[in-house]
Amino acid sequence: MSEAPATTTTSPTAPPELREASNRLIWALVGGVFVLDAFLAGRLMGDDGMAGMVSALIGLLILLVPMLRIVLDDLRSGQLRMNELVVLAVLAGAARGDFKTAGIIAFIMLISLIIESRTASGARASLEALARLSPGLARRLNADGTEERIDPQQLRPGDTVRVRPGENVQADGEILRGTTSLQEATITGESLPVDKGAGATVFAGTVNLTGAIEFRVTRVGKDTTLGRVRELILTAEKTKLPVVRLIDQYVHYYTPVVLILALIVWFFTRDLDRIVALFVAACPIAVVLATPSAMVAALSAAARVGLLVKDLSDFELMARINAFVFDKTGTLTAGRLSVARLAPCTGVESSELLRQAASAEQQSNHPVALAVCALAKRVNVTLTAPDNVHEEPGRGIRAVFADGEVRVGNMAWMTAAGADAAVFPGVADDEVAGMSLLFVMRDGQPLGWIGFQDEPRAKAKACIRQLRDRRVPRLALITGDRKEVARKVASELGLDEWRGECVPSDKVDYVEAVKKDGYQVAFVGDGVNDGPALAASHVGIALGAAGSDVAIGSASIALMNNELDRLPFLVDLARTARRVIVENFCVGGLLIAAGMGLSAAGMLSPVLAAVLQACGAVGVVLNSARLVREGETLQTEAR
């Protein structure tokens, strides 16, 4: 038996589940019309005549078609779910010869099933819409400067694209010409526009607000940051919480147990109405909706403010996190380092110290390297290209040139290579205490050091205070920077626990130690050198992940912007979602227990049982929908 063809308003590109739910809705409406006609015919004719019975039977058969298809799909997959109970209830009602009542039950239960399927698929579609790219045609520039309007899928890395005001950016790239303001809420969750000019990075799916720009394409399609965002959102929606996996493990026992209870009631009462009502009351529609409706609403709220969750288990775990460990550079501090001092050793010029350091660091993306190279570019220092570069995470860089080897890194690495710490001048000066220091040596001979300054992020102190207000007792800072710098930043932010001069393995050891103390640990870093620590923690959170494949790939949760106030919000959202899920389960469980008890006692009719099921499903969905509005205050404050 197949479904009749129907024309729906559902987009042909809509998810299959959404199209299927729309088709079921059409069957329900058509069948419902026939059942309603049966009641009208009986009222108009003054009795329950043949016309009314035939109309009710036709409506019942129409309503049974999509329900039987669902049951057959379940049976083919080798699983028994609540759908079998719905069909049994309808068939049992029809066996009594009361097609009108059976039709009403079928209509209400089919609507309840549609609510369930559309809640999941509709939420999935809304999540996908958060990361949907619909840019129209791209303006690719040819070699002669003329524009060519093409489909964005035809763009390739290296192409030059022009974007006019009001148009969407069609790919990731680097601005070549022009300045503008871009709306990047799709990527970062920030409602305020961002001003950008030549050399800045642009992301697919963002909106060009003011000036015309031309950019060179670096990534297209699924490889763009937007494509990664979309993949993360949809992958997370398909994952399951531990409680759901537990339910799935035992759900195939549920239907047989209900059948046994129905046989017991039949044995003692011989009342078919009670059996039908019991089958209807036993349908766990509200329970099935309890978790997915809450989770998709929470994921939608999180994605709106730039928080991307890879796995729902990690999101559920956030509700129990009681320890945060923060990296420093680029996380609690802005990561926009500036060179504050050049301190060459005796006999070495400042320009030579800068040239050697920048030549070695020019291929690195570390904030320290970027600051050194920026200064070298600003003062027109000519750099030498290295023949070979090796980066030691948490220590520094070793670059091999045609005329020697240069090491740039921390003091521990220098002394391990044989350098005398006393040779580096002025390290113990008071004004150096708050600086991050980069030491340089060439062929084993110290050249000097470079001092950097970095300021805590504007919202860092408030974030720490808000996490304490949320009963997160253990907050710590850990960094590869000097202990003096770590102590200074921790003091400014109100952190009592800190560690300095740590390599990546030290960060992992610290996280493991906190876990052994019985804490649920979240590690927050920028994803550059923090991959091992992010993986070692219960939940790894990468800050400023927009445009960073490393950050998106290494963390459990990616924060696409640098707004630290999202962390207390994440804790609140996870805890609220957990509370909503508990409420949903209580509603669903109470409906089942009370409904089955009243049905067995003969105090609940089949139709009323069906109405209660539909009301329970709607109530659970509405309760979960409250989560969608979480985070609106963050966006309002940003404006």
User: Where in the sequence numbering do the catalytic residues fall?
Assistant: 327
- Taking alpha carbons only, the member of 124, 158, 97, 151 closest to residue 19 is 124
Buried b (16+ CB within 10 A) or exposed e, 343-355: bbbeebeeebbbb
The DSSP bridge partners found for residue 397 are 391, 408
* Helix locations, 458-565, DSSP H: 460-469, 483-493, 504-516, 531-536, 549-554
3-state secondary structure string across 290-304:
HHHHHHHHHHHHHHH
Cα–Cα distance for residue pair 148/156, rounded to 1 Å: 14
CA 395 to chain centre: 32
60 close to 153: Cβ distance less than 8 angstroms: no
**DSSP run (H or E) holding 397:** strand 396-401
Cα–Cα distance for residue pair 507/514, rounded to 1 Å: 11
The DSSP bridge partners found for residue 441 are 407, 446
3-class state of residue 366 by DSSP: coil
Position 628, amino acid: V
Residue 21 makes CB contacts below 8 A (sequence gap 6+) with 114, 117, 118, 121, 122
- The structure tokens 């049951």 sit at 71
3-state secondary structure string across 89-151:
HHHHHHHCCCHHHHHHHHHHHHHHHHHHHHHHHHHHHHHHHHCCCCCCCEEEECCCCCEEEEC
3-class state of residue 160 by DSSP: strand
- Taking alpha carbons only, the member of 312, 318, 301, 320 closest to residue 244 is 312
542 close to 558: Cβ distance less than 8 angstroms: yes
- The structure tokens 């809705």 sit at 25
428 close to 394: Cβ distance less than 8 angstroms: no
593 close to 546: Cβ distance less than 8 angstroms: no
End-to-end Cα distance, the chain: 56
Position 578, amino acid: R
CA 378 to chain centre: 39
The DSSP bridge partners found for residue 172 are 219
Backbone angles phi, psi at 386, to 5 degrees: -75, 155
438 close to 357: Cβ distance less than 8 angstroms: yes
**DSSP run (H or E) holding 517:** none
Residue 560 makes CB contacts below 8 A (sequence gap 6+) with 187, 188, 189, 229, 306, 307, 308, 544, 545, 546
CB atoms within 10 A of CB 481: 25
